[in-house]
Structure 1
Amino acid sequence: MVMEGQAPVSPAPQVLAIGKFDGVHLGHRAILNAARDLQAPDERLAVMSFEPHPTYALTGNPEYARWLTPRRERVRIFKELGVDAFYVARFDRPFQQLEPAAFVDGYLVPLRVRHVVVGPDFRFGRGGQGTVDVLRDLGRNRGFDVHVVEPVEEHGHKISSSRIREHLREGRVEAALALLGRPYVISGQVVHGDKRGRTLGFPTANLGGIDEYVLPKSGVYAVFVEVEEAEGACSAHAFGVLNAGYRPTVDGRSFQLEVHLLGFDGDLYGKTLRVSFLRRIRDEMKFDGLEALKGQIARDCEAARSMVGLTSGLPSA
């Protein structure tokens, strides 16, 4: 539910976790777990996030115009984690100018929150005036308490969305997986391409509608692909080989994601694919003609099979 102006009145008391939740990584999951531990039988577990990304809204940094987990992906993950309600506050200019007390009265009190769970760096209100201590003071007079969850670390470093973004920029999808607690996922609809892969004997699905996602470094990756149907159900799945980049051998001019599904035979046009990045195989490179490219794709497929422990692609379910 997108909230503009103020929050709706909740039908039930709630435990509310607040944050950007971009990535819903292991640090975010610690916040959600803490909120769940506070939940009483009559309370709902809820999450509040913000759009556009606050970093983009405040700085204009184009990197943050894209998300690790666009809203659709966050909704899916939150459902899997047992979240009952997901609220999105519109992070526009009027919202940014709210005094801390106005934010609490307009966005938290109507939600009937009993507990609010945040990270230690949480800030709210005009100019970030609202600190955790300010939130505690405001909550004390409004019937809710505030719980702070300390950052989760990996090898002595705080798990953060910015670290995950950096790993993806460098193609380190396995390092991103370690911080996310799951593979990095991009969902997109299969659109028509130039069909050159089919002529090479390796038909590929070209993903469209991926402009909201942080994209990985150019290169070739071993991936796991799920074919989505209505309500997000999976109708088929397969391991695959994905090329991310500009396709220099055929003078490509735009960054594309093209995936070849191992052992899969079926029409994917118009379908939505959920692509999970497992391992990086190699850099993108230019070959001396299509035959050389074809030979390398065959080697990439064998490398992917070896990486995921297959002798053939996983057939459709």
Structure 2
Amino acid sequence: MEVYYLHHPFDAQKIDPSPKVLAMGFFDGLHVGHREVIAKAKALAESRGLKLAVLTYDHHPSIVFEQHTERMKYLTTLPRKLELLSSLGVDQTYVVNFTAQYAQQTPQEFVDNYIVGLHSQVAVAGFDHTYGSKDANADMAHLKDYAHGRFEIVEIPKQEVLGHESASRYSRALLDAGDVDELRAFLTIPYETTGVVVHGEARGRQMGFPTANIETPADERLPGVGVYAVEMKIGETWYPGMASIGYNVTFGSDRPKTVEIYLFDFAHNIYGEQVKVRWHHYLRGEEKFNGMDDLKKQLQQDEADIRAYFSEVL
């Protein structure tokens, strides 16, 4: 997949002049609704012998329009988003740097610059897609007014999963609640994060459960506090195990949040490894135990429960 990084105003000479079908959206999570947009655009591209392109952004547009008291965290960071788009058969992705200058475009300027300017014969987006500015008319209902017959418009209707609209906001709420089981139905695949293995306090080792402490990217959204069935990818291999996200409350208060993963039947030194984690199943919440012995008993039960889970699903 070719990736173009655009800063407004971009140099038109650097754009591939090939006619294309353009799918538009921020695509955080690449959930069912997003995948329907990509799938429809791909089908149109294949039937017409055109390239499939995606127009997306390097960060959430709200960063330009409002104050954020906390750092934005994404279901799919940009590298993960590009990885998923490539796996879905996208030929080209145009990543726009969403700036105040970009947002000042009128809807007509956006269409001229970023739909016509990218040589699009068809523009595909979800029913709630907006483009560029906060102009009330910068929506799918008015896109035909700005197209002036220069390209075809395909609007994807609302998609529902388990009675809920397939939307990034609901997906984030599921993740924050730790409900990775239901989240999978919306994303169609297990939720995935990244990180690097760093040193921890080695308490797990003392109990016979040596854990890999994972330092995660600051802009990557983690599941809620709890214990999970996971797989972790080291090199090219996925290993099953159990993960804890929490504050190690058994050992004191006001502790930092950590991500610790115990891999089953694994005994290798992996400090410094760049890893990926698939979050399969929520087992239980974080609990405070009377001491290390009680915690060890619970970890033994957790391992038994998660091994049983994986014996059925993997």
TM over 0.5: yes
Aligned to 1:118: 125
Task: Return the offset for 1:287.
Answer: 1.3
Please report the TM-score for the alignment, with normalisation by the length of structure 2.
0.91
Alignment of 1:15-54 (within 5 A): 15-40=21-46, 42-54=49-61
Q: Hey, what's the Cα distance between the residues in 2 that align with 1:145 and 1:157?
A: 29
User: 1:5 and 2:8 equivalent?
Assistant: yes
Q: What's the % identity of the aligned pairs?
A: 33
The separation in 2 between residues aligned to 1:301 and 1:135, in whole angstroms, is 54
Match of 1:286 in 2: 288
- Is 1:198–1:204's contact at 8 Å kept on the other side of the alignment? yes
Residue correspondence of structure 1 range 255-270 to structure 2 within 5 A: 255-270=257-272
User: Is 1:302 aligned to residue 310 of structure 2?
Assistant: no
Larger deviation, residues 252-261 vs 167-176: 252-261
SS, match of residue 15 in structure 1: strand
Distance 1:36 1:63, change over 3 A: farther
Superposed displacement of residue 63, structure 1:
6.5
Partner of 1:243: 244
CA contact (8 A) 1:219 1:244 kept: yes
Report how far residue 250 of structure 1 moved.
Answer: 2.3
Which segment drifts farther, 103-112 or 176-185? 103-112
Q: 2:100 is aligned with what amino acid?
A: R
| Cα offset, 1:11, TM superposition | 4.0
Q: Tell me the equivalent position of 1:231.
A: none
Runs ≥4 in structure 1, deviation > 6 angstroms? none
Asked if the contact 2:71/2:219 (under 8 Å) is kept, the reply is: no
State how many pairs are aligned.
304
Question: Could you say if the C-alpha distance between residues 223 and 42 of structure 1 is closer, same or farther in structure 2, counting changes exceeding 3 Å?
Answer: same
Which residue is equivalent to 1:206?
213
Shift of 1:134: 3.0
Counterpart position of 2:153: 146
The Cα shift of 1:196 comes to 2.0
Which residue in 1 is equivalent to 2:273? 271
Deviations 1:50-77 (A, max 9, x none): 2321234323345670000001111111
1: distance between equivalents of 2:71 and 2:170?
13
Q: What's the TM-score once normalised by structure 1's chain length?
A: 0.90
| Structure 1 counterpart SS, 2:124 | strand
Amino acid at match of 1:31: V
**Corresponding residue number in structure 2 for 1:103:** 110
Q: Which runs of 5+ in 1 are unaligned?
A: 229-233
Distance in 2 of aligned mates of 1:166 and 1:118: 23
Q: Deviations over 1:121-160 (max 9, x none)?
A: 112243233122432232235x311110112112332111
More off after superposition, 129-138 vs 297-306: 129-138
In 1, distance between residues paired with 2:6 and 2:69?
24
Contact persistence 2:77–2:219 (CA under 8 A)? yes
Residue 186 of structure 1: which of 193, 196, 200 is its match?
193
Alignment-derived partner of residue 231 in structure 2 = 224
Structure 2, unpaired ranges of 5+? none
Q: Which residue pairs with 1:70 in the alignment?
A: 77
CA drift of 1:106 comes to 2.3
* Cα deviation, residue 98, structure 1: 0.9
State the alpha-carbon separation in 2 of the partners of residues 221 and 83 from structure 1.
32
Q: 2:139 aligns with which of 128, 131, 134?
A: 131
**Could you say if the C-alpha distance between residues 174 and 54 of structure 1 is closer, same or farther in structure 2, counting changes exceeding 3 Å?**
same
Q: Secondary structure at the match of 1:65?
A: coil
Distance 1:302 1:29 in 2: 36
CA distance in 2, matches of 1:16, 1:288: 58
